[in-house]
């Protein structure tokens, strides 16, 4: 990706201009509502700051961007079909649940729901598929999926607010033509549209939508944008934590969920994706209570499991996608084109081969545990340390191995509260938001609702915006 497609050096290296633009960009971000609470006071909006972002948008080839948007509805369908295929989930996760306690606990809830029978035929999925552009020497960049997030996929709210910031900065820098290439983007509206549809199908005007949130809520504004779209439709939203549901939640004889006397139509999980989110047995009890209820869950437990790394690796095996798209070779082809190399670490000859391959050339791979939320992956010589410890035991099945993707670094300035202004070599990750609602056998709505570009300095291997590593960005298409 030649920098000619992006911001020219005479702008990037003009320190007086950069300083002026940086001050302007902060004001613009605050004015547009690109905000986060402070680390010191994560539960108060008394003092807030801009959420971290790039000073300039990052060049992204139009062809791969369009490819990512086009495949999203197929990914929505795939996740939904996996969630309904109990045999597939059982087979795919069999080895993982023997060694990964967190996945095992989720799986146990899934089994209990299967045994009791699902009490709600409406399914709501809000997911985000994340990609990087793989670019070896002189090759055209190819789109490679990092992961799909089926629970608590964030930044649909804030990424709805960043386009205007970059448009303004480009105009100030005298780059009018580029400013017109920044796309409108409003995932918040699309995510809310799907939640509203599920709420409507639930069929009770008195029912509320619950945002299930963490104790520490720095990223509250991101969620608020989705929430306010629902209030605009006169849908009542309440924010609860696991412990609130445990203390005040109950099911009536029809399995309708009530919390503090309010009937719950939809539960939108913005928490519950990491082991630390379950601070006690009560959190697990609350999760089970919600899963057993008639409320529409986003995601329900089987959709949550469909987003595990192990499922991602199993899908990359020959013939597996065809199971879900038996008469849609084109969908299979579009999805498969985005797969990076993924390898099993299950016990047996195939897993042994993966271990040897990783130990021989660790720099070619990423070792991934079954975790969401960024900051969990293992790189380089650390791969050898981990694999040497677990290579003879079933513990290795808690991980998958994936080819390392090689994006081309681009120079930019990362705007962070309290950080000095300096130019960095940056790598970007493109996320695409999907939203779908199914009722029984009918797919009521299935759409791609927007995108998210996140960028980080190339010295960081892993981590997202909420983890404090990546910053918000926009694609500058060329």
Is 376 marked as binding a ligand? yes
Any catalytic annotation for residue 382? no
Any catalytic annotation for residue 373? yes
Is 161 marked as binding a ligand? no
Is 466 marked as binding a ligand? yes
**Which of 149, 160, 185, 424 is an active site residue?**
149
* Angstrom distances, CA of residue 235 to CA of 140, 205, 226, 435: 46, 8, 12, 18
Cα 152 from Cα 298, distance rounded (Å): 9
**Which of 303, 238, 282, 241 has the alpha carbon at shortest distance from 264?**
238
8 Å CB contact between 122 and 445 = no
Any catalytic annotation for residue 125? no
Is 206 marked as binding a ligand? no
**Which of 241, 372, 450, 474 is an active site residue?**
372
Residues recorded for the chain: 478
Is 377 marked as binding a ligand? yes
Any catalytic annotation for residue 185? no
67 Ramachandran zone, left/alpha/beta (phi>0; psi -120 to 50): alpha
216 Cβ neighbours under 8 A, 6+ residues apart? 42, 43
Is 185 marked as binding a ligand? no
**Which of 6, 454, 464, 474 is an active site residue?**
454
Is 402 marked as binding a ligand? yes
Cα 474 from Cα 410, distance rounded (Å): 13
Any catalytic annotation for residue 144? no
**Which of 161, 309, 310, 438 is an active site residue?**
309
Terminal alpha carbon distance of the chain = 10
Is 136 marked as binding a ligand? no
Is 241 marked as binding a ligand? no
Q: Helix 281-292 vs helix 101-116: angle between axes, to the nearest 10 degrees?
A: 30
Is 282 marked as binding a ligand? no
Token pair for residue 473? 């960005």
Is 371 marked as binding a ligand? yes
Any catalytic annotation for residue 416? no
Is 181 marked as binding a ligand? no
**Which of 368, 391, 396, 438 is an active site residue?**
368
Question: Residue 462 CB: number of other CB atoms within 10 A?
Answer: 16
8 Å CB contact between 338 and 131 = yes
381 Cβ neighbours under 8 A, 6+ residues apart? 362
* β partners of residue 149: 128
Is 152 marked as binding a ligand? yes
Is 217 marked as binding a ligand? yes
**Which of 6, 37, 144, 147 is an active site residue?**
147
Question: Residue 20 CB: number of other CB atoms within 10 A?
Answer: 13
**Which of 6, 83, 127, 128 is an active site residue?**
128
Question: Residue 284 CB: number of other CB atoms within 10 A?
Answer: 18
Is 456 marked as binding a ligand? yes
Is 370 marked as binding a ligand? yes
**Which of 49, 193, 336, 373 is an active site residue?**
373
Any catalytic annotation for residue 180? no
Any catalytic annotation for residue 353? no
Is 389 marked as binding a ligand? no
Is 405 marked as binding a ligand? yes
Is 200 marked as binding a ligand? no
Q: Is the peptide bond before 299 cis (omega within 30 degrees of 0)?
A: yes
Is 115 marked as binding a ligand? no
Provide the 3-class DSSP secondary structure of residue 466.
Answer: coil
Any catalytic annotation for residue 422? no
* Angstrom distances, CA of residue 132 to CA of 7, 80, 277, 340, 456: 20, 24, 28, 10, 12
Q: Residue positions in the annotated binding site?
A: 128, 147, 149, 151-154, 217-219, 223, 270-273, 309, 368-377, 379, 402-405, 429, 454, 456, 462, 465-466
Q: Residue positions in the annotated binding site for Mg(2+)?
A: 147, 149, 372
Q: Residue positions in the annotated binding site for ATP?
A: 147, 309, 368-377, 379, 402-405, 429, 456, 462
Question: Which residues have a catalytic role annotated?
Answer: 128, 147, 149, 154, 309, 368, 372-373, 454
Q: Residue positions in the annotated binding site for substrate?
A: 128, 151-154, 217-219, 223, 270-273, 454, 465-466
């Amino acid at each position: 990706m030649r920098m000619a497609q992006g911001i020219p050096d005479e702008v990037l290296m003009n320190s007086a201009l950069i300083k002026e633009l940086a001050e302007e960009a902060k004001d613009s971000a605050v004015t547009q509502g690109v905000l986060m609470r402070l680390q010191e006071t994560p539960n108060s909006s008394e003092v807030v700051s801009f959420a971290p972002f790039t000073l300039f948008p990052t060049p992204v080839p139009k062809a791969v961007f369009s490819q990512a948007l086009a495949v999203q509805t197929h990914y929505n369908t795939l996740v939904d079909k996996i969630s309904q295929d109990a045999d597939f989930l059982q087979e795919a996760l069999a080895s993982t649940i023997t060694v990964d306690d967190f996945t095992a606990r989720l799986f146990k809830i899934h089994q209990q729901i299967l045994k009791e029978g699902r009490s709600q035929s409406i399914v709501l999925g809000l997911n985000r598929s994340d990609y990087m552009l793989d670019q070896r020497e002189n090759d055209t960049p190819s789109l490679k999926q990092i992961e799909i997030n089926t629970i608590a996929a964030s930044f649909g709210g804030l990424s709805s607010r960043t386009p205007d910031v970059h448009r303004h900065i480009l105009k100030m820098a005298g780059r009018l033509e580029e400013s017109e290439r920044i796309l409108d983007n409003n995932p918040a509206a699309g995510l809310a549209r799907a939640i509203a549809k599920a709420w409507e199908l639930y069929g009770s005007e008195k029912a509320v939508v619950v945002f299930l949130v963490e104790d520490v809520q720095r990223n509250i504004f991101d969620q608020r944008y989705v929430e306010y779209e629902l209030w605009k439709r006169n849908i009542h939203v309440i924010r609860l934590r696991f412990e609130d549901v445990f203390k005040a939640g109950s099911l009536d004889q029809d399995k309708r969920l009530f919390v503090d006397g309010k009937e719950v139509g939809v539960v939108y999980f913005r928490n519950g994706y990491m082991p630390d989110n379950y601070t006690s047995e009560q959190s697990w009890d609350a999760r089970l209570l919600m899963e057993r209820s008639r409320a529409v869950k986003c995601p329900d437990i089987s959709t949550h499991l469909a987003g595990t790394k192990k499922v991602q690796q199993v899908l990359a095996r020959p013939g597996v996608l065809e199971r879900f798209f038996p008469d849609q070779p084109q969908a299979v082809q579009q999805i498969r084109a985005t797969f990076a190399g993924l390898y099993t670490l299950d016990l047996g000859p195939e897993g042994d081969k993966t271990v040897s391959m990783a130990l021989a050339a660790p720099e070619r791979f990423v070792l991934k545990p079954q975790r969401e939320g960024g900051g969990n992956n293992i790189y380089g010589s650390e791969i050898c340390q981990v694999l040497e410890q677990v290579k003879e035991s079933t513990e290795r099945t808690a991980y998958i191995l994936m080819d390392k993707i090689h994006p081309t670094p681009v120079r930019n300035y990362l705007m962070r509260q309290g950080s000095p202004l300096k130019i960095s070599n940056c790598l970007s990750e493109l996320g695409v938001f999907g939203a779908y609602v199914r009722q029984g056998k009918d797919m009521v709505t299935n759409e791609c609702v927007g995108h998210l570009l996140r960028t980080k300095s190339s010295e960081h291997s892993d981590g997202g915006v909420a983890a404090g590593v990546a910053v918000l960005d926009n694609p500058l298409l060329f």
